[in-house]
Amino acid sequence: MKASSAVLCACLLLVSSALPARDAADPSLAEVYQEAIRLEDSRELTRAKGRYEEILARCDPQRDWLLRRNAQQGLLRVDDLRAEFAMSETQLREKLAQTYRDYRAEEFADWQRRGWILSKEVDGVRGYSILNPTNLGFFDSGLMARNANAVEGYRQFARIFLDESAALDRLRSSASGPQTYVAPVRHVYSVRAVVRRSDLPPGPVVRAWFPYPLLTPAVQSIRLVSVEPPGALKSSPDIASEIGIAYLEAPRPEKDDLTLELKVAFDAYHTDFQIDPDTIESYDRRSELYQRFTRSEQQIALTEPLCELARTVVGGEENPYRKARKLYDWVCDNVKYNFVWRWRDATFTYGCASEEVRSRRIGDCVIQSVFYAALCRSAGIPARVVNGPIFPPGMKNDHVWAEIYFPRYGWMPVDVTYSEVAGMVPGLSESERRTIRDFFFGRMDRWRLCTQRSELAQELVPVKKSRRRHVTMFVRPELECGGQDVESRTLSWECTPQ
């Protein structure tokens, strides 16, 4: 059974087991959900939407809450997929002419032949991704240089990490010996959600899940500064867990709008692993850590084609550090960054992220990092993924990167996405490209924090019974009132040096 089929079957089994028995003469809700998933997977989105809406109309909100939430998620995915492939070929050609200097009509066929143009049939009609104009620039530095609106921003992006690498070089040269975590900066992380009272669903209490920093060697001295409104925090965040959650509850306001805000202080360190590959000790293959982080999972699937790819890349190398570096270089050179967020949740519902990247050789930070982790695991190197906000000067974003484990050294960060993107920016020297490549294998900036680790798409605690806005990553507050998702809200965050 291929990986995507295995994930789909597991998803359907979970839903089926959560439902009560029904009249055999009438299709059960589980069967309707199975059909909806299959229709969505085949891009018959109108029919899939009808099945999800049927589930919502028929299911009991209390007894069938899991299926109800899954159907709500399905409707959100259908809307995202339809919006993603809403562009006709004529519209795409016009947009490309506006985006790329000296665009020639004959280039379109060449880009299609190379697999750079993403399109899908939706309800039997060929549609093109609205992100094609942006994504094309990631395939070729020369093409990126022809996009005047984007190239300067990417040059500034690359400069941030070149400066970070230079700062670490200075710190290393002045240190008396190797230091992995150095020069901390005190930050305050502020997250705010504002909801108009008129936009709240019926219900007496608003429930909110806010991302919270997790304790790592690079993020220390975490301290809650404030919560608004006072007394809203209902459970103390567990900073040693695998998902950082501050759970809040607030009564429905009688007349004013509702503002929820969390402020947390922490120290963030530069990371600078200095590893002598020949000193790495053998893994304890019986340990819980080794067995957990080298096993095959639904999204990190150690299929035979993936394992064969890893064997080909690694060759005869036996040293785990050098194997990990070979795999890193291969991913940076062969897997192109693309924005794929509109169908990423679909992948995590009925697909397999590592297999999708292996076959298509494109992906965003989420599935690129998952793919790299899968390659490392197949080579016997413990690997996991981490996500959280990143906030270098003048920049804010959500991000996912990988970590690999070496005995005595611990978990070492590896950021294949930022290495690949920053390293292809036009105008860089070969020395600068090499600096960026080396930086993201064992070094890391001090402008990021972790809110979820080990695996993505973790369940919130306590459980949110309405749809999630961001299933894969936990980097934004999730709100619920009366068992319904709070759809209209304003979210903001910042992380500033103290």
The CATH code of domain 181-270+468-497 reads 2.60.40.2250
Q: How confident is the model at residue 50 (pLDDT cuts 50, 70, 90)?
A: very high
pLDDT above 60: residue 14: no
- Tens digit of each residue's pLDDT (9 = 90 or more) over 339-364: 987 778 889 999 999 999 999 999 99
Q: How confident is the model at residue 27 (pLDDT cuts 50, 70, 90)?
A: low
The reply to whether omega before 204 is within 30° of 0 (cis) is no
- Tens digit of each residue's pLDDT (9 = 90 or more) over 416-435: 999 999 999 999 999 999 99
Provide the token pair at 222. Answer: 């975490």
Contact indicator for 471, 457 with CB cutoff of 8 Å:
yes
pLDDT of residue 431: 98
- DSSP 3-state percent helix, strand, coil across the chain (nearest 5): 40, 25, 35
pLDDT above 70: residue 372: yes
pLDDT of residue 417: 97
Separation between Cα atoms, residue 298 and residue 427, nearest integer Å: 40
pLDDT above 80: residue 371: yes
Across 475-485, average pLDDT: 96
- Tens digit of each residue's pLDDT (9 = 90 or more) over 275-319: 999 999 999 999 999 999 999 999 999 999 999 999 999 999 999
pLDDT of residue 470: 87
- Domain 275-441: which topology? C8orf32 fold (3.10.620)
For 39, 84, 96, 112, 129, the CA distances from 91, given in Å and listed in that order, are: 27, 13, 9, 15, 11
Q: What is the greatest pairwise CA distance in the chain?
A: 77
pLDDT above 70: residue 393: yes
Across 149-170, average pLDDT: 95
- The DSSP 8-state label assigned to residue 213 in this structure reads P
Q: How far apart are the first and last CA of the chain?
A: 53
pLDDT above 90: residue 226: yes
> Closest Cα to residue 456, out of 347, 328, 303, 295?
347
> Closest Cα to residue 442, out of 404, 407, 414, 406?
414
For 164, the 3-state DSSP assignment is helix
Contact indicator for 275, 406 with CB cutoff of 8 Å:
yes
pLDDT of residue 344: 86
Average pLDDT, the chain: 93
- Tens digit of each residue's pLDDT (9 = 90 or more) over 142-157: 999 999 989 999 999 9
Report the Cα 345 to chain-centroid distance in Å.
Answer: 10
| pLDDT above 70: percentage of residues in the chain | 95
Across 202-220, average pLDDT: 97
486 phi, psi to nearest 5 deg: -85, 105
pLDDT above 60: residue 16: no
Provide the token pair at 366. Answer: 């989420």
Residue spans per domain, the chain = 3-84, 181-270+468-497, 275-441
